[in-house]
Amino acid sequence: MKNPHCVNAPLMAASQIKSKSLLLRSTLVLLGLSIVGCSEPPPPSESVSSRPVKLFIVDKSLSAEIRQFPASIEAATQAELSFRVSGQLEALPIREGEVVEAEQVLAQLDATDFKNTLEDREAVFENTERNFRRAGELIDSGSISQLDYDRMEADFRSARAALAQAKADLNYATLRAPFRGRIARRYVDNFEEVRAKQSIVYLQDTELLDVIIAMPESVIRSVTSGGEGELSSDPLEESSAASVRAMASFDNRPNISYALELKELATRADPDTQTFPVTFSMRQPDEFTVLPGMTAQVEVDFSDLLTSDAVTWVPARAVQADATLSPRVFVLDAQSMQVRSISVETGRVSGDMIEVLSGLVGGEEIVAVGASYLSDGMQVTRMLGGEQAIPRETAPGDSDSL
């Protein structure tokens, strides 16, 4: 008879082997999961913080003695002519583009009503004049009262004024050219009913032309002495006007330049462009016709006006003090978007701008707002939105950037 323990022994051994196998498999699974968990990449580190700043492009052409500006041409003398009385046009003997002489008739109203009015006023005047003269003879003898005499004198003066007005109205019915010029535009046609002060023709004197450029504030500051107060003084002093040398050229005549004479320099900036209009005078060229509305290139020589210490102007907030209280500015490296400080020498202060005498060569992007919170090597970003513009490829201060 077999021992029952001997029969169950193999079964128990098999069960134990199976349990150990399951335990080994579970251990391997847990070990694999732990290995997978350890192999995951670490969470991304926080990016280096950068500070938004507002930048200012240093004008590198301020130290140049000769600069070029785009210019527009206007007539030195121009007028929009109209009648001072109303009526129907009877004659309009001029054409657009025609050259007319001074006192030449440009337009004529039907003068019938004005002549009738003049004749009536003449009759009234003659009657009141006779009555007034008789009253002068009778007042001495006491035949009329002083009150009647005063009334007749007033009637005489009123009639005389009415007669003068009638003569003037008849004269106003004829529109004449106040100066020699060219008819730039005709606003009406013949036989139309026109009102008083309604534009009839636009007359321009094209013999003497105005050449107008827009000069940046930075240039104005550099060619004047004495800071901001100089901008309010008279810039057209005889010595200053003689020191400005300017030449104009045109695209279709690139090899010919025409001398200009300084006429006006505005002392108030245009609110839209923040530039100062400068007007030069030029005679009509003999080689071709220049008309108002055309464009030109103006080359201005500032060699006699630029002071030796005037290099550039930058926002006053861009200049900071280092540990030794020496002035410095932060310059941007556009590739790495990092800033570095450079020492500068400062000069005059004018409003919110300060003059930099040395340290900047021009073309640099410097921090204009936020410089007090920066240090060397700090990462920065340009202000978002419309507050900060990215510089263009063209050099700051070039004519196409004005």
Q: What is the pLDDT of residues 61-105, one digit of tens each?
A: 544 567 889 999 999 999 999 999 999 999 999 999 999 999 999
Angle made by CA atoms 157, 159, 162, in degrees to the nearest 5: 110
**CATH level 3 topology of 66-76+208-301:** Elongation Factor Tu (Ef-tu); domain 3 (2.40.30)
The first and second tokens of residue 351, run together, are: 């409003």
Measured CA to CA, the distance from residue 57 to residue 349 in angstroms comes to 18
At 255-268, the pLDDT tens digits run: 889 999 999 888 88
How is domain 111-172 classified at the CATH fold level?
A: Helix Hairpins (1.10.287)
Reported as half-sphere exposure (CB side, CA atoms, 13 A), residue 101 has a value of 1
pLDDT of residue 21: 57
Strand order in the sheet with 345-350: 312-315, 353-358, 345-350
Cβ neighbours around 304 below 10 Å, total: 13
Q: Where do the domains of the chain lie?
A: 52-61+311-401, 66-76+208-301, 111-172
pLDDT at 42: 53
Listing DSSP states for 221-245 in one string gives HHHSSSGGGGGGS-TT-HHHHHH-E
Same fold, 52-61+311-401 and 111-172: no
Q: What dotted CATH number matches 52-61+311-401?
A: 2.40.420.20
d(CA 150, CA 131): 12
β-pair partners for 327:
321
Residue among 324, 363, 332, 329 nearest 345 (CA): 329
The structure's pTM equals 0.56
Spell out the residues 6+ positions from residue 350 whose beta carbon is closer than 8 angstroms to its own. 221, 227, 228, 313
- Choose the weakest-confidence range: 13-22, 156-165, 297-306, 354-363: 13-22
